[in-house]
Amino acid sequence: RGARDPRPRVGGRTRRRRDRAEADVIPARLAVTPGSSVLHRLPAGSKVLAVAAISTTLAFRPTWSALAIGAGVICACFLLGRLPLGVLSRPPKALLAVLALTVFFSLDTGGDPTWVGMEWGGIVQLARLVAVGFEIVLLAGVLAWTTTLAELGLGLTRLLRPLRLLRVPVDELATVVSLAVRAIPLLGTELGVVLDARRTRPAPAAPTSGPRWRRARGPLAAADAIEIGVAVVVSAYRRAGELADAMTIRNSCTAPLPERRRIGLGDVLTVLVAGAVCTCIVTIG
């Protein structure tokens, strides 16, 4: 017989809600989607340049025409990359609550257009701001879903090479970027270990005194979130110390540099398409 769950019995709906709340904490949606599509085969550096250029252009030209062009680019990326709709995560309830509160306060700002005796200018501006942020996040998501972390770190390192002419410490910057990118899956693993440890221990009784947020015992209470955050931070510091000791023992404080490669057809096409999209956003938008 298997080991008995030390936690008190709860209903199926409560257990599913608790597991779903814990699963939403893990950044699983940033994982690479396996595939061999056109976007997966493109060089990482070119994709970083394209995403940065299109996102910056959308941020400075947030018109509805520009947003329509950005939406078309995102749909084309999903089709070319063969990305399933399952990669899109559900927005947190806290974010939806903040958005609803912002909409409520925007009702009093006024401005054109006018409909049903009310001025909806603030709502229109808010909708445009939310749409710009949503498209920028989706563009970054397309980059994350079609590029491995190692390729992304090496691509950023290649992009930083021209800064060497300006006496910028490229090697140190490349090391920081590469180590930070490679540490993301390690941090996700540590978070999974902490959540597994939380599942195996008995659930403590809810306190009867103190603030209401501390007495709440929902699927993932505020007190539990604080404990999980502290445990993850401590584990991250421990991992960082071990990595620093290993680099000191090897007498090497720089990450391995990527091998030199020539500019290929994929790089040229990616930059040309990104330039054409940015030009359309500026002229049409």
DSSP calls for the chain: -PPPP-SPP--HHHHHHHHHHHHTTS-GGGSPPP--SHHHHS-HHHHHHHHHHHHHHHHH---HHHHHHHHHHHHHHHHHHT--GGGSPPPPHHHHHHHHHHHHHHTTS--S-EETTEE-HHHHHHHHHHHHHHHHHHHHHHHHHHS-HHHHHHHHHHHHGGGGGGT--HHHHHHHHHHHHHHHHHHHHHHHHHHHHHHHSPPPPPPSSS-HHHH--STT-HHHHHHHHHHHHHHHHHHHHHHHHHHHHTT--SPPPPPP----HHHHHHHHHHHHHHHHHHHH-
* Contacting residues for 162 by C-beta, under 8 A, at least 6 apart: none
pLDDT of residue 167: 85
Residue 216 pLDDT exceeds 70? no
Q: How many CB atoms lie within 10 A of CB 258?
A: 19
Residue 142 pLDDT exceeds 80? yes
pLDDT of residue 32: 75
How are beta strands 118-119 and 114-115 bridged, if at all?
A: antiparallel
Rounded to an integer, the average pLDDT of 185-206 is: 73
Residue 79 pLDDT exceeds 80? yes
Q: Which one has a higher pLDDT value, 225 or 283?
A: 283
Which of the residue ranges 82-96, 151-165, 228-242, 246-260 has the most confident prediction, judged by mean pLDDT? 228-242
| pTM listed for this prediction | 0.67
Phi, psi angle pair for 114, to nearest 5°: -110, 130
Rounded CA-CA distance 164/185 in Å is 29
Q: pLDDT class for 10, splitting at 50, 70, 90?
A: very low
Rounded to an integer, the average pLDDT of 154-170 is: 81
Closest residue by Cα to residue 139 from 37, 92, 70:
70
Q: Which one has a higher pLDDT value, 245 or 15?
A: 245
pLDDT of residue 29: 53
Q: pLDDT class for 253, splitting at 50, 70, 90?
A: low
Average pLDDT, the chain: 75
Q: pLDDT class for 221, splitting at 50, 70, 90?
A: low
